[in-house]
């Protein structure tokens, strides 16, 4: 039975759709209204309030905390400033990705890591012999994500003690709301201007109420994870167990991926000190990776034609689909070259887009491929072009 | 200033901007000449009262053509069409309401409160309208073939069109025939019996026309609504971020990105014609600008009777354009509000205020509103389509404050008792607010500013003849190969190099961009 999050009294009061999802054992609203449209547009047009409490959260402290984190993640902790946040994967010793998440440097030797899967044992084991403590604070922190162009204006009204004009992308600050402490990170899973808010669970409801109260004039809406899923694809952001499989869950070798194969090569610092997976990744760099991450844009005119063949208008699902579809070499349906793992109609771009993994060198930007689509139960192929991600990248995200 | 171009577009309304983008995209050095200080025409957003942005004339993007969105890559230039999903119809006394939104079963339950029969018929009606819209939608994207010429290309076009219609089965063809000829009220009464539903559905048939819900020919306009729905997730209708002026800005950026130049405060007084060929324009300030292609996005009366000398045109065309029906019948009232107004029938804030509020409690009320207009008065109890843009887009008003847009019918261009005066305008504004008060009892206490626009004001600001919102009635005698005149429906004119690209051409008014695109494509074909 999934458990309530610290915001449950508030989220359940407004979840008209009753469309609850089980997120890591917690009740999480898929959508609040009957259709996801307004919640999606809250992310892009005003402000969306998303309960992300089910994330796993760990704190790492002690004299060797920085060394421990540096051993775990692929990015270089020696270059991470206090108050800075890294988005990073971490790997097993074969250089295959276990999970991805954010690492906040709260102090020289104090880190907070968020992840999608449980990682306490992994961090503990990696830290064997180091003088550092790993504490699972998942239940000690309630988390809200406030995303959208109006998020900053709302926080400026609600949170005191933080200079929001100078809180940079992927940085954090501490402040107060009505006297209780809050940590604000300028992070999110939407590719828009946005923040994540971390408070002790006993303050959760008060935080929610203040945000709704001050957000109403900014057209704030509670949003579920279904609209967020569309936004994250537009932002080109991957999801574990959907776009890649954790090496700790893979049941066959080919299900595993290196960071290079899921678009996170930029987050590997080969020249940093030793870290788990370093040698394997060095080898992979030499040899080249088998797979690569891609964003594709479907050819709309063809998509329309494929529907017209069945005498239908182009009827694309409004939600992101997490069922992977095969990809073929352009014009050669006997040559399977990979899969699109999440695909969605992008309301802001008015395009059908997807992310996935293809065999190299089919991953080149501009390359044309054929993606499977199903129209009226019939499998068809739609040409698509490899395009750069993020698909949607508004200047306000970092401004 | 350089005064030699490949193409000049007169008027920077949404169609002029679309046309300019297509011309520039084809490599033509293109100039848009707009009379006002800003582009948009009937599609502008202005801060009439400090801090409050009014989507002054048009307020929803109804049928914007998806092919234009893609071909001009409008999302990259800021296209953002926000959902406007629900319709709330208060009853006459304001105590009860009919509410329809994307929650299908709830909508059926709500309809059933008024009539179980209507609730059961609702899906069937929607299904018919889907087939109709699908058949007619095709016409929106094509240059109308002319059945009176025996040009093989036109004949092929007609065959193509017939195929689209013949895809319909017999039942559906009958429905189509009725749709083309019946009144909106008679048409919806084939399915429905409850007043708020019948009145609200038929109201979409009278928008912009000088006809009542019981006037034959109004059923056709009902389709427009469903044509938007067919595109489903694509969403070519809704509220554009920043109001319809936001869409005009998007189009201006797209046109400029293609290389078009836009000049505001540059009204055109005449098109220069020599030996039956256009070669440029004269501005109101006397400047001449030359180009071998000149496109007018103004209404047909401006295009044919003002911008050129009637003696440059054949008599039959001059006659047809003079007879082209353009009497305006719609007004607009925009309000700046101190706080969110409260509905008597459903107090408190909520998403029901982020959709349309249709002041159409029953058919007789709308028909009576039309009766007033028929005899030259504004409606004492007008029909209105109301939205609160600040509930959809926070940029429209300061936090906690709101703007309200009321599209009103009827306000005839010509009053029986003489010209519109300031007093009459204000009396019309009072009539509007009085109707609002039946639903929003607190409305009078929270109005910070009121902008009232009659057809005369619409004409004065936008230049649209007689303030007709569609540049000319959308009835069968003025549609398709008859728009604006038989023989001149293909964006061409008898003057070589002079083309039409505004709402007075096929497929007509409303923010769809189709005339702009098709006009530009025709001009690019040249050969004349
Ligand atoms: C009150 C009102 C409400 C409406 N509501 C809606 C709605 O909600 N949804 C919808 O889809 N449609 C609506 N419409 C209809 C729609 O707005 C129009 O049909 C459409 O905007 C017309 O576009 P256009 O480009 O063809 O012409 P216009 O918008 O009329 O553009 C013509 C342009 O030419 C300029 N101009 C005029 N004379 C000259 C000259 N001599 N020289 C240079 N420039 C000149 C004008 O300033 C204007 O910018 C509404 C219209 C009105 C008036």
Could you tell me how many CB contacts below 8 A there are between chain A and chain B?
Answer: 77
Helix (H, G, I), strand (E, B) or coil at A250: coil
Look up residue A229 and give its two tokens: 């899923």
- Residue where a domain stops, chosen among A234, A269, A287: A287
Domain-embedded: residue B489: yes
What's the whole-model pTM score?
Answer: 0.95
Domain with A363 in it: what CATH number?
2.40.30.110
Domain-embedded: residue A244: no
B405 within ligand 1 shell (Cβ under 6 A):
no
Domain-embedded: residue B234: no
pLDDT the model gives residue A145: 98
Domain with B25 in it: what CATH number?
3.50.50.60
Centroid of ligand 1 to alpha carbon of B326 (angstroms):
13
User: Are B31 and B141 in the same domain?
Assistant: no
Beta sheet of B277-283, edge-to-edge order? B268-274, B277-283, B288-290
**Angstrom distance (rounded) from CA A83 to CA A108:** 10
Domain-embedded: residue B95: no
User: Are A39 and A180 in the same domain?
Assistant: yes
User: Are A72 and A133 in the same domain?
Assistant: yes
User: Are B293 and B347 in the same domain?
Assistant: no
Give chain B positions within 8 Å (CB) of A219: 390-394
B14 within ligand 1 shell (Cβ under 6 A):
yes
Q: Are A350 and B134 a contacting pair at CB < 8 A?
A: no
User: Are A117 and A154 in the same domain?
Assistant: no
Give chain A positions within 8 Å (CB) of B398: 217
The pLDDT mean for chain A works out to 97
Contact of A316 with chain B, judged by CB distance below 8 Å, is answered with: yes
ipTM > 0.90, yes or no: yes
Centroid of ligand 1 to alpha carbon of B510 (angstroms):
8
User: Are A146 and A203 in the same domain?
Assistant: yes
Domain-embedded: residue A231: no
User: How many Cα atoms occupy the beta-carbon half-sphere of B159 within 13 Å?
Assistant: 7
Domain-embedded: residue B112: no
Contact of B116 with chain A, judged by CB distance below 8 Å, is answered with: no
Q: Which atom of ligand 1 is nearest to the CA of B36?
A: 47
Look up residue B63 and give its two tokens: 């049928």
Contact of A172 with A185, CB cutoff 8 Å: yes
CA–CA min distance A221, chain B (Å): 10
Contact of A298 with A382, CB cutoff 8 Å: yes
Centroid of ligand 1 to alpha carbon of B503 (angstroms):
8
- Residue where a domain stops, chosen among B453, B483, B512: B453
Domain-embedded: residue A243: no
Q: Are B83 and A38 a contacting pair at CB < 8 A?
A: yes
B385 within ligand 1 shell (Cβ under 6 A):
no
- Residue where a domain stops, chosen among A179, A208, A223: A223
Domain-embedded: residue A296: yes
User: Are A204 and A110 in the same domain?
Assistant: no
Domain count, chain A: 3
CA–CA min distance B252, chain A (Å): 18
Which ranges of chain B have pLDDT less than 70? 1, 148-150, 155, 158, 161-166, 224-225, 228-233, 235-236, 527-528
Which element (helix H / strand E) includes B3? none
Q: Are B79 and A34 a contacting pair at CB < 8 A?
A: no
User: Are B406 and B444 in the same domain?
Assistant: yes
B468 within ligand 1 shell (Cβ under 6 A):
no
User: Are A93 and A197 in the same domain?
Assistant: no
User: Are B22 and B75 in the same domain?
Assistant: yes
User: Are B344 and B443 in the same domain?
Assistant: yes
CA–CA min distance A147, chain B (Å): 14
User: Are A82 and A133 in the same domain?
Assistant: yes
**Angstrom distance (rounded) from CA B198 to CA A126:** 70
CA–CA min distance B75, chain A (Å): 5
Domain-embedded: residue B386: yes
User: Are A114 and A160 in the same domain?
Assistant: no
User: Are B373 and B442 in the same domain?
Assistant: yes
User: Are A183 and A75 in the same domain?
Assistant: no
Domain-embedded: residue B51: no
Q: Are B79 and A350 a contacting pair at CB < 8 A?
A: yes
Domain-embedded: residue A20: yes
**Angstrom distance (rounded) from CA A26 to CA A29:** 10
Which ranges of chain A have pLDDT less than 50? none
User: Are A148 and A198 in the same domain?
Assistant: yes
Domain with A96 in it: what CATH number?
3.30.70.1400
pLDDT the model gives residue B233: 65
Centroid of ligand 1 to alpha carbon of B509 (angstroms):
8
CA of B396: which chain A residue's CA is closest? A218
Domain count, chain B: 3
Domain-embedded: residue B2: no
User: Are A28 and A72 in the same domain?
Assistant: no
pLDDT the model gives residue B149: 67
Centroid of ligand 1 to alpha carbon of A340 (angstroms):
44
What separation in angstroms does the CA of A297 have from each of A115, A226, A372, A382, B388?
29, 21, 13, 10, 35
Across the strands, what pairs with B407? B332, B385
Contact of B506 with chain A, judged by CB distance below 8 Å, is answered with: no
**Angstrom distance (rounded) from CA A170 to CA A102:** 9
User: Are A189 and A64 in the same domain?
Assistant: no
- Domain of residue B285 covers 7-43+60-81+241-325+466-525
Domain with A24 in it: what CATH number?
3.30.1360.120
Look up residue B286 and give its two tokens: 């006397």
pLDDT the model gives residue A40: 97
Domain-embedded: residue B228: no
- Domain of residue A40 covers 8-53+141-223
CB atoms within 10 A of CB B437: 15
Within 8 A by CB and 6+ apart from A79, the residues are none
Domain-embedded: residue A119: yes
User: Are B301 and B383 in the same domain?
Assistant: no
């Amino acid at each position: 039975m999934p458990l309530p999050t610290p915001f449950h009294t508030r989220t359940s009061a407004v979840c008209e759709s009753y469309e609850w999802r089980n997120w890591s054992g917690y009740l999480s609203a898929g959508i609040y209204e009957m259709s996801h449209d307004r919640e999606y547009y809250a992310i892009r047009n005003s402000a969306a309030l998303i309960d992300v409490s089910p994330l796993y959260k760990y704190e790492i402290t002690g004299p060797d905390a920085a060394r421990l984190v540096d051993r775990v993640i692929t990015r270089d902790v020696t270059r991470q400033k206090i108050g800075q946040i890294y988005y990073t994967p971490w790997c097993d010793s074969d250089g295959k990705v276990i999970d991805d998440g954010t690492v906040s440097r709260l102090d020289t030797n104090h880190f907070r890591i968020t992840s999608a899967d449980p990682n306490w044992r992994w961090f503990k084991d990696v830290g064997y012999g180091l003088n550092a403590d790993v504490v699972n604070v998942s239940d000690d922190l309630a988390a809200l994500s406030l995303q959208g162009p109006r998020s900053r204006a709302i926080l400026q009204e609600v949170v005191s003690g933080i200079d929001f004009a100078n809180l940079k992308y992927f940085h954090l600050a501490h402040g107060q709301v009505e006297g209780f402490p809050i940590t604000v990170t300028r992070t999110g899973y939407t590719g828009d201007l946005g923040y994540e808010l971390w408070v002790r669970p006993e303050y959760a409801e008060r935080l929610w109420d203040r945000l709704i109260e001050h957000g109403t004039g900014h057209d704030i809406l509670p949003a579920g994870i279904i609209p967020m899923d569309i936004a994250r694809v537009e932002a080109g952001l991957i999801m574990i167990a959907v776009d890649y499989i954790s090496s700790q869950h893979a049941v066959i070798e080919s299900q595993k991926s290196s960071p290079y194969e899921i678009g996170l090569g930029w987050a590997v610092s080969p020249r940093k000190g030793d870290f788990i997976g370093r040698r394997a990744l060095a080898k992979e760099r030499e040899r080249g990776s088998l797979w690569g991450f891609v964003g594709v844009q479907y050819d709309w005119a063809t998509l329309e034609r494929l529907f017209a063949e069945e005498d239908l208008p182009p009827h694309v699902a409004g939600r992101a689909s997490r069922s992977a579809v095969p990809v073929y070499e352009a014009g050669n349906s006997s040559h399977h070259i990979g899969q699109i793992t999440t695909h969605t109609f992008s309301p802001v771009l008015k395009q059908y887009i997807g992310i996935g993994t293809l065999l190299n060198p089919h991953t080149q930007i501009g390359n044309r491929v054929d993606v499977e689509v199903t129209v009226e139960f019939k499998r068809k192929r739609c040409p698509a072009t490899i395009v750069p991600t993020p698909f949607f990248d508004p200047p306000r995200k970092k401004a | 200033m350089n005064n030699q171009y490949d193409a000049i577009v007169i008027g920077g309304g949404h169609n002029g901007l679309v046309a300019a983008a297509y011309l520039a995209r084809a490599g033509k050095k293109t100039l848009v000449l707009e009379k006002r200080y800003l582009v948009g025409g009937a599609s502008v957003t202005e801060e009439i009262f400090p801090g409050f942005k009014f989507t002054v004339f048009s307020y929803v993007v109804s049928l914007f053509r998806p092919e234009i969105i893609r071909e001009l890559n409008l999302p990259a230039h800021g296209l953002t069409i926000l959902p406007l999903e629900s319709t709330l119809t208060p009853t006459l006394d304001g105590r009860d309401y009919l509410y329809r939104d994307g929650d299908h079963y709830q909508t059926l339950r709500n309809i059933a409160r008024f009539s179980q029969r209507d609730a059961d018929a609702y899906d069937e009606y929607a299904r018919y309208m889907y087939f109709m819209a699908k058949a007619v939608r095709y016409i929106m994207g094509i240059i109308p073939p002319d059945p009176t010429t025996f040009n093989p290309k036109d004949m092929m076009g007609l065959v193509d069109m017939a195929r689209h219609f013949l895809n319909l089965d017999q039942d559906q063809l009958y429905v189509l025939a009725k749709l083309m000829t019946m009144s909106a009220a008679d048409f919806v009464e084939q399915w429905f019996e409850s007043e708020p539903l019948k009145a609200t559905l038929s109201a979409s048939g009278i928008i912009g026309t000088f006809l009542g819900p019981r006037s034959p020919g109004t059923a056709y306009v009902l389709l427009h609504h469903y044509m938007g729905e067919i595109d489903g997730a694509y969403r070519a209708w809704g509220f554009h971020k920043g109001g319809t002026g936001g869409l005009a800005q998007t189009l201006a950026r797209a046109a400029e990105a293609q290389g078009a130049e836009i000049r505001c405060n540059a009204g055109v007084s005449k098109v220069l014609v020599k030996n039956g060929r256009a070669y440029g324009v004269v501005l109101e300030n006397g400047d001449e600008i030359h180009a071998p292609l000149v496109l007018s996005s103004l209404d047909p009366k401006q295009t044919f009777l003002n911008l050129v000398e009637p003696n440059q045109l054949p008599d039959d065309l001059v006659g047809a354009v003079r007879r082209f029906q353009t009497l305006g019948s719609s007004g607009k009232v925009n309000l700046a509000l101190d706080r969110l107004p409260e509905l008597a029938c459903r107090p408190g804030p909520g998403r029901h205020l982020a959709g349309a509020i249709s002041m159409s409690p029953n058919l007789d009320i709308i028909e009576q509103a039309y009766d007033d207009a028929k005899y030259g008065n504004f409606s004492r109890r007008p029909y209105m389509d109301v939205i609160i843009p600040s509930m959809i887009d926070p940029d429209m008003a300061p936090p906690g404050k709101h703007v309200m847009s009321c599209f009103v019918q009827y306000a005839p261009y010509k009053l029986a008792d003489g010209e519109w005066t300031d007093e009459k305008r204000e009396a019309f504004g009072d009539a509007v607010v009085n109707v609002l008060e039946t639903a929003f009892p607190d409305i009078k206490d929270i109005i910070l500013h009121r902008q009232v626009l009659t057809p005369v004001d619409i004409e004065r600001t936008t230049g649209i003849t007689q303030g007709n919102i569609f540049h000319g009635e959308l009835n069968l005698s003025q549609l398709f190969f008859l728009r604006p005149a038989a023989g001149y429906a293909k964006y061409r004119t008898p003057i070589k190099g002079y083309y039409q690209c505004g709402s007075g051409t096929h497929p007509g008014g409303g923010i769809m961009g189709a005339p702009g695109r098709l006009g530009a494509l025709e001009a690019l074909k040249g050969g004349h």
